[in-house]
Amino acid sequence: MIVRSFNLLSLYILPLILIAVHVRLVGKGLGHAGPVQYLLHMLYAVAEPTILRITDFLITKKIIAGSVPGRAFLRTIAMLSHYLPHGIIVTTRAAEKLLDYIEKEEVPAGAKIAVGPCVCQRSLNKWKEPSCKDIVILYGADIYRHLDLGYRIISAAEAINIVQESRKAGLVHSIDFCMQSGKWAFVLCNCDKDICVLTRTYLLTGKFIYAGPEIVIMDTLSCLGEKKCGRCIPACIFGVNIATGNKPSVDYTRCQGCGQCVQVCKGKARKMTRRSPYAHEHVVPSEILL
């Protein structure tokens, strides 16, 4: 795949790709992504399947993931990978607002949103539906289309439909970015805890995923209890809801702000509220998401 991708970037095509107008997130607006950023991120995209396979190998080895020294080793690797993709978890509503914003913001014409097969599933050759759910945005849409990886341009409405179907499937939405900067935001992932490398690495190390601008609050009086409902417990991949035999307790320190428990709660006992403080306002501003 790497050789094939490099072959596509021939000496005739690459200069045209680099001088074309590519759009990135800049604070609360959109601006141009320069050729250096575009080239560096394209090189990462070419190497991405290999990086994901290596990470999967490390986190699935019991001698590493199942031991204290091994987990310390993983955390060290995670800290050294500070500038590789990290994700901010958002609710479905926030994901929809981001997609609408990207489509409606006044910028030069070009690809803004595209979708293709889940990069984790494709890299690991482990498939689970929905599989066509990797929503690349802004200059990321240009990169993954140019690499001929099966991505196609879609509208915000189509992307929102994918996001909603992903929510119904129990997936959580993550805005991924490189270099610890929103200027490098390139994909809206829809993640699970079984295949998604970013999520699985976070569950082992506490790294690579950041809490979004919202957090859940629970009305204990409205909660129907575990026997009549209890759906929030399996719905949360971050282990926020803890079984007590009566009404689940909520560990708010674990809540990343995905909103899945709100979607499944039969008693309507939960809702999302603005997180204070939201630590990554400088990366993806809450003004865009909320």
For the chain, 290 residues long, the average pLDDT of each consecutive 10-residue run is 48 61 91 92 95 96 91 91 96 97 75 92 96 96 90 95 97 98 98 96 95 97 96 97 95 97 96 97 96
The pLDDT score that the predictor gives to residue 10 is: 47
The pLDDT score that the predictor gives to residue 1 is: 46
Phi and psi, residue 27, nearest 5°: 65, -125
| Rounded Cα distance, 266 and 268, in Å | 6
The pLDDT score that the predictor gives to residue 149 is: 87
The pLDDT score that the predictor gives to residue 279 is: 97
Q: Name the residue type at position 227.
A: K
For the chain, the straight-line distance linking the first and the last C-alpha, in angstroms and rounded, comes to 39
| Rounded Cα distance, 48 and 285, in Å | 27
| Rounded Cα distance, 84 and 99, in Å | 23
Contacts by 61-65 with C-beta closer than 8 Å and gap 24+?
65/204
Q: Are 195 and 124 in contact (CB under 8 A)?
A: yes
Q: What are 26-43's pLDDT values in tens digits?
A: 999 999 899 999 999 999
| Rounded Cα distance, 149 and 281, in Å | 32
The pLDDT score that the predictor gives to residue 11 is: 46
| Rounded Cα distance, 144 and 54, in Å | 21
The pLDDT score that the predictor gives to residue 7 is: 52
Q: Which of 253, 171, 258, 160 is nearest to 213 (CA)?
A: 258
Q: Name the residue type at position 261.
A: C
| Rounded Cα distance, 116 and 123, in Å | 13
pTM comes to 0.93
